[in-house]
Amino acid sequence: MKKRRLRCGGRGVRGGVARMTGQRALVEMLRAEGVRYVFGNPGTTELPFLDALQDAPEIQYVTSLFEGVAAGMADGYARITQRPSFMNFHISVGVSNSIAVMYNSWRGGTPMVITAGQTAASLQLHNPTLYSNMVNVMREYTKWAGEVATPEDVPAIVRRAFKVAATPPTGPVFVSFAWDSMNREAEMDIAPSVDHYFRVLPDPRAVERAARLLSGAQRPLMLVGDRVSQSPGAPALVARLAEQIGAPVFATSFSEVHLPSSHPHYMGTFDTSWLHRNMKERFDAADLILAIGTEVMVQSIPTPEPPFSGPPKLVHVDCSDWDMQRSYPVAAGVLGDIAGSLEQLSQTLSERMTASDTEAARERRRAVEEEKLRRRESFDALVNRRWDESPTSPERFAVELRRALPPDVLVCDDSITVRSALMGALNFDEPGSLVGGRGGSLGFGMGATLGMKLAAPDRPVVGIIGDGTAMFTIQALWTAANYGIPVVWVICNNGSYKVLRENMARYLTGRERESKYIGMDFYDHPLDFAAMAKSFGVKGIRVERPEELGPELKEALESGEPRLIDAILNDDFDPEAIQGAWGRWWEGR
């Protein structure tokens, strides 16, 4: 059967006022906004839009068999292009199906416009089939949500949706279109949103106060988060500032490249959900904590003590006024475009730092670089200890990946418990080369891998996907086969929900109880991803020996077609080590 190859290209858009139906106005606004793909799963209330879309062949409708796949594709596409993606789902139930994956986009701030059809306004008080107040539901998971009831409002509200989604702090927006708004005519003003105005520079007094505190710090520490990579140019400025003040940099989330991961000041991520005592000690030892583009601090599990103690020592640089002082007091705040704020802060620091300040920062740099080297050596030693394990250890798996991946690869990381090994073995230094999970909900990676490839068709794209999270959106295989999207998924098949088993071990810290890990494995009926891939029309292969992974991955990338590699991994972990780290909170209590 001939595959539905996706088409590229488009035609020019003319602005101005013209009389047309709401359905055509919606399509013309997508043209004006430069939309190339509509990610969705169709339904009856969306028929007017789909009918009009037929007359815009340069805009491709990409069908997914489940809305979570489309949401993942839209997330990956938007994060590579750094522009809002566009989705269209079925009324109520279709929208609800997307939330599990779209939740990550909301927490991570991915710019996207989600749309759905709605029943006619004249029927809404008569309990029509599938009607619900979708706006109320989606307000929980978006920056803004609204419904268009009349055709006259279509251009303005679509323009608003793209504007709100793209304005930092970026994020999803939802719009539903009532049946009448699509089918009736009105005078329409077709003009796109503009996005060149929101790189707002901070208050110079705020920059001066932050620089004064930073220049006097003797033990600074830096925290970075997802909004750094959303500000073009910011990752390089984070690295420059870290060198300038001689501070180690920790990531509350490294779902994208917030600074080059090989940089000698980058210390890696830490678990904010189950915050360990050792990070509390690092915070306490610091006399200043510079937080950039991050929430401070997202915890899922309460700890006996708060992360930060004593007088305020946080200096928060961000584009989100909501997250500044949201949970903890700050010594200084700098609100504005992150890249512009860091540029001004670095310049002001250069003017303020004395010769002794600069020398002290140089000494701190040496200490930080030595710590980075020790961390590298510790990981290498772990790799060596687990090298010959069977099934393959996550560390050996990650090293084999590193050896086989081409230098220009884009990686989608939805590997869950393999992520620590992956980040230890691979360096991600180029902004846009990594798109990782964020928000805590499973299922984004299968679709996101496809969306990344559509955004960067000339780059190889590989998804490193956990077995549990893959099953949430396994229908992505059909979309890849149907449209011939040449990506490679490598499934980390450890046969269990390993992250839950590890968390159960933490939960049972200090108790004389051995868990049976109820509902947390697939041992009795293993998942055969190679067979599943074949059933969807994708070639899949099972890899049990680590030395086979590299050649199979290279062959898959060279094939020019979608492929899946089912890599069998060791799911062992050390409950005592996990409990020892978590249990430090209660030492001496």
Taking only the tens place, the pLDDT of each residue in 467-494 is 999 999 999 999 999 999 999 999 999 9
Same-domain check for residues 424 and 536: yes
Taking only the tens place, the pLDDT of each residue in 332-385 is 999 999 999 999 999 999 999 999 999 999 999 999 999 999 999 999 999 999
Q: How confident is the model at residue 51 (pLDDT cuts 50, 70, 90)?
A: very high
CA–CA separation, 121 and 170 (whole Å): 31
> 266 and 224 in contact (C-beta within 8 Å)?
no
Q: Is residue 119 part of a domain?
A: yes
Of 143, 158, 190, the one marking the end of a domain is 190
In the chain, the largest separation of any two C-alpha atoms, in whole Å, equals 76
| Helix (H), strand (E) at residue 47 | helix 47-53
Which burial class, exposed, middle or buried, applies to 513 when counting CB atoms under 10 A from its CB (0-12, 13-18, 19+)? Answer: exposed
| 3 pLDDT higher than 70 | no
Q: How confident is the model at residue 196 (pLDDT cuts 50, 70, 90)?
A: confident
Long-range contacts of residues 346-352, Cβ cutoff 8 Å, at least 24 apart:
346/237, 346/240, 346/241, 346/244, 348/207, 348/208, 348/211, 349/211, 349/214, 349/215, 349/241, 349/244, 349/245, 350/244, 352/211, 352/212, 352/215
Task: Give the number of other Cβ atoms within 10 Å of residue 167's Cβ.
Answer: 16
Closest CA to 352 of 556, 213, 186: 213
Q: In the prediction, which pLDDT does 586 show? A: 86
Q: In the prediction, which pLDDT does 199 show? A: 87
Tokens 């839009």 found at: 49
Of 374, 403, 431, the one marking the end of a domain is 374
| 403 pLDDT higher than 80 | yes
Same-domain check for residues 305 and 160: no
Q: In the prediction, which pLDDT does 7 show? A: 44
State what percent of residues in the chain have pLDDT above 70.
Answer: 97
Q: How confident is the model at residue 9 (pLDDT cuts 50, 70, 90)?
A: very low
124 against 543, higher pLDDT: 543
Q: What's the structural domain count of the chain?
A: 3
Q: Is residue 381 part of a domain?
A: no
Same-domain check for residues 159 and 223: no
Q: Is residue 436 part of a domain?
A: yes
Average pLDDT rounded to a whole number, residues 222-231: 96
Residues contacting residue 59 through CB under 8 Å, at least 6 positions apart: 10, 27, 30, 31, 35, 36, 37, 38, 53
Taking only the tens place, the pLDDT of each residue in 317-331 is 999 999 999 999 999
Same-domain check for residues 458 and 549: yes
Tokens 């919606």 found at: 26
CATH number of the domain within which 295 lies: 3.40.50.1220
Same-domain check for residues 369 and 403: no
CA–CA separation, 65 and 409 (whole Å): 27
Please state at what angle helix 338-352 crosses helix 234-245, rounded to 10 degrees.
20
Q: Is residue 586 part of a domain?
A: no
| 237 pLDDT higher than 70 | yes
The whole-chain average pLDDT of the chain stands at 95
Q: Is residue 58 part of a domain?
A: yes
Q: How confident is the model at residue 195 (pLDDT cuts 50, 70, 90)?
A: confident
Q: Is residue 9 part of a domain?
A: no
| 570 pLDDT higher than 80 | yes
Q: In the prediction, which pLDDT does 197 show? A: 82
Average pLDDT rounded to a whole number, residues 491-518: 95
Among 11-15, 166-170, 462-466, the least confident range: 11-15
Same-domain check for residues 277 and 356: yes
Same-domain check for residues 297 and 323: yes
Closest CA to 67 of 88, 45, 48: 88
Of 190, 223, 240, the one marking the end of a domain is 190
For residues 91, 96, 98, 103, the Cα torsion angle rounded to the nearest 10 degrees is: 140
CATH number of the domain within which 412 lies: 3.40.50.970
Q: Is residue 198 part of a domain?
A: no
Same-domain check for residues 84 and 134: yes
Residues contacting residue 317 through CB under 8 Å, at least 6 positions apart: 210, 290, 291, 292, 293, 333, 334, 338, 341, 342, 345
Q: Is residue 7 part of a domain?
A: no
Closest CA to 235 of 283, 195, 293, 288: 293
| 2 pLDDT higher than 90 | no
> 573 and 498 in contact (C-beta within 8 Å)?
yes
Same-domain check for residues 181 and 243: no
Structural domain span for residue 496: 389-581
Average pLDDT rounded to a whole number, residues 87-109: 96
Same-domain check for residues 365 and 394: no
Here the tokens at position 545 are: 């020996």
Same-domain check for residues 30 and 105: yes
| 198 pLDDT higher than 90 | no
Same-domain check for residues 117 and 78: yes
State what percent of residues in the chain have pLDDT above 90.
Answer: 93
Q: In the prediction, which pLDDT does 112 show? A: 98
